[in-house]
Amino acid sequence: MRSALAALMLCCLPCGPGPANAASFDCASAASRIEHMICADAALSMADSALGTVFTGALAASPHPQALRADQRQWIASKRDKAATPNELMSACQTRTADLRRQVADWQAIRQSVGATPPGTCLKLMDGENAVCAVTEAGVLTGAPGGALRYRMQTWRDGDNTTGTGIIVLAGDGTDPQPVTWSADVDTNYDAPKILPTPHGTFLDLPGYVSGTGNVSAETLFVFRDGGWHEVDITAWLDQLGARLPKAIGAWKGIYPDWRAMTAHTPLWRDGDGNCCPHAGSATVTLRLDRDRIVLVSLRVSSQPLPDE
């Protein structure tokens, strides 16, 4: 069985020249129905290769490449792999390619606008036809390898209603700022970013949570490596946690790891528990940074709730 990365490369990542049809993968190793469909059709192979090229460019332009990879995996499962005919697959690949090109254009426009936007002025991180944007907080993050970072936090309002919030982190001096990352959303609240020196590396932490009745983390994390900041996959370990918990018990929401200690604590829910009321005890996990991914090292399950519950 091929790895998840190999599956992601299909209709995603270019692998250089393949067999006659030049798909984004080696047709000699085609295994799935979709792979055989692509390899049997020269036009599909070209569309697949074009999508792979666009996706690679999108990863370079995206402020959150890990989120883009997850989005691509979701597209593969829900769109590409559901195609019943070559025409449906062609339409799915062409639509995805066009969508990615639009996203890249938007991301490039933001990057190009940074230098021309005064520090106290909002950047157009999201659309808001009737909203008025204001920079609500700005600051400097010291202790970052490669030089200090600056950040701006923005809020969009339509009358008395908040219609969106955003944050952007910039590297470089005031004359030539370069965006490290940014986020903006209608349902997410952001706290000021932090530099976290740890034995595992220096992290740039952007804390955030989704508004509403749930306690859902929207945090993003970057590690400084090879002279630059790289986004860390902080969700993969949650799948590992779910697979290792006892049957009919789950960790649903609101897990905020301590990145300095590489530990996390969470209440546990039984099947049938209400969203408000976990009754299955708690779990403590130990984590590790594996290049650009957080992985689970150990898990301890207790019948007792967390101390602050």
- Chain Cα centroid distance, residue 188: 14
Query: Which pTM was predicted?
Result: 0.85
Q: Which two tokens stand for residue 184?
A: 């903006």
First CA to last CA across the chain, in angstroms?
Answer: 44
Q: What is the pLDDT of residue 22?
A: 60
- 166 burial level (CB within 10 Å; 0-12, 13-18, 19+): buried
User: Along the 309 residues of the chain, how does pLDDT read in single tens digits?
Assistant: 343 334 444 454 333 333 445 677 788 888 889 999 999 999 999 999 999 999 999 999 999 999 999 999 999 999 999 999 999 999 999 999 999 999 999 999 999 999 888 888 999 898 876 789 999 999 999 999 988 899 999 999 998 899 999 999 999 876 788 999 999 999 899 999 999 999 989 999 999 998 765 668 899 999 999 999 999 999 999 999 999 999 999 998 778 999 999 999 999 999 988 888 889 999 999 999 998 999 999 999 999 988 765
The angle subtended at Cα 182 by Cα 258 and Cα 62, nearest 5°, is: 105
Q: Please state, in angstroms and rounded to a whole number, the distance separating the CA atoms of residues 8 and 5.
A: 5
Question: Going by C-beta distance under 8 Å and a sequence separation of 6 or more, which residues neighbour residue 307?
Answer: none
Amino acid at the residue 90: M
Q: Please state, in angstroms and rounded to a whole number, the distance separating the CA atoms of residues 56 and 13.
A: 6
DSSP 8-45: HHTTTS--S--STT--SS-GGG--SHHHHHHHT-HHHH
- Element containing residue 105 per DSSP (H, E): helix 86-113
Contact between residue 145 and residue 209 where contact means Cβ atoms under 8 Å apart: no
- Chain Cα centroid distance, residue 7: 19
Contact between residue 301 and residue 267 where contact means Cβ atoms under 8 Å apart: no
